[in-house]
Structures are given as structure tokens and as C-alpha cells.
Amino acid sequence: MKFAVLVFPGSNCDIDCYKAVEDTLNEPVDYVWHTATDLSAYDCILVPGGFSYGDYLRCGAISRFAPVMAEVAKAAEQGKYVLGICNGFQILTEAGLLPGTLRRNMSLKFRCHDTVLRVENNENPFTSQYEKGQEIKIPIAHGEGNYYCDEETLAKLEENKQIIFRYVGNPNGSLDDIAGISNERGNVVGMMPHPERAVDSLLGSEDGKGMFISILKAWRDQHESASIR
């Protein structure tokens, strides 16, 4: 399985994502600059955190027009895995790959600390290594992580089991305590907390490992079933 870590001007968690894949999975991984126009070689695209284009206008509002985002949309349509973390989540919502938007934290302050998440859906390719209802410790670092959508969208998220994680102790005012969601197909996930910063006990938690292991397992299962057919 081959991973791409996108890099925009202002990305600052790209190295964290790269090392999480390298150390947790020992699978091939490349940095891919935002001007790239071909992601066909990759099975999973990671859109990392940071302050792409300085977070001017709105977080992710400029990055969504980068050439590589057309390729991310194409990869998502093909069923490849896409994970947007923090600023990456904001970029995916701006690009229309995930519903809703991220607003300023209710406190109007940047929040940087560990949070507890509850796994709401463990039938997703990104969460199969967790138990439903399991609580995991994953850090946050954001000023605009307050998830919002309209009532109709929220009802659809619930109905389609697209709410992947909820906060236990909401740090930012997110609607319905939402910390992470998926698209309807389940192959695109966005979340504000940073699983790539929770893959080693030295970092304070290893609870993020499950996400990366889940992705690899989903990919292997998919290819094994395809080879059988």
C-alpha cells in the first residue's frame, strides 16, 4: 500500500503524518507538493494539518483550489482512502468532499491539549481496529475546530453513520460533539484531532495507531477479495 502526504505552503504536520505511516506501518510513503496533477500511484492520501496559505480568507479556502485537489476528488471517486486531519479536514469541507464547515472555537481561543474521543462507528475503513463506544486519547491543536452543519445535514450524518468520532468533553463547541465524519461511501474521513501525534507512548498516547492499522487492513482485505474474484 502506498501513501501520499500532501504538502501545501503552510502545512506543518506533514512530517508527523509521514513518520506515523513509516513507523507504524512500514509502508511506502511520499510527500506530494500541492501542484501535483497525478495521484494515481497512491492508495491513500493524507491531507495534513497546519495553516495552509496562512489560513487567509477561511481555513482551507485557498488550498481547495490547488491543482492536487482535483486529483484528491478523483481518488475519492475511485474509492481510494482520503484522510484529512485538522487543516486537512477544513480543506476537505471547503472542497466539498465532506459536508459542513469548521468555525472559530466557541472560546475564541486556540486549543492545544489531549482530548478524549468516543468511537461512534467502527465499521469504517479507518476505525475497524477500535470497539464501538471505545474512548481514545488523541490531541487537538486548532483555533477553528467548531464543526457546524444544518439540521438536514446532521440528520443525514446520523442516518448514514457518517459521524465517526465524538468528543467526550467538547473543547470547541462543535455541533453534537462531532470530532470526525466521513462521506457517505466511508472512504473519505475528516477529523480535527491529530491521530498522527498519538502513535507512540513517548507522545503520551498510542491510540492513534488504530487508525493507520485500520486503513492498511481495509486495503489488504479489499485487494484479497478482488484477487479471489
Judge contact between 11 and 18, C-beta under 8 A. no
Q: Rounded CA gap, 144 and 47, in Å? A: 17
Q: Which residue in 86, 94, 142, 144 is the catalytic one? A: 86
Coil/strand/helix, residue 164: strand
Residue 194 catalytic? yes
**215: Cβ contacts below 8 Å, ≥ 6 apart:** 1, 44, 81, 83, 125, 126
Q: Is 17 a catalytic residue?
A: no
Is the Cβ–Cβ distance between 212 and 25 less than 8 Å?
A: yes
CA angle 94, 68, 127 (to 5 degrees): 65
* Residue 86 designated active-site: yes
Catalytic residues: 86, 194, 196
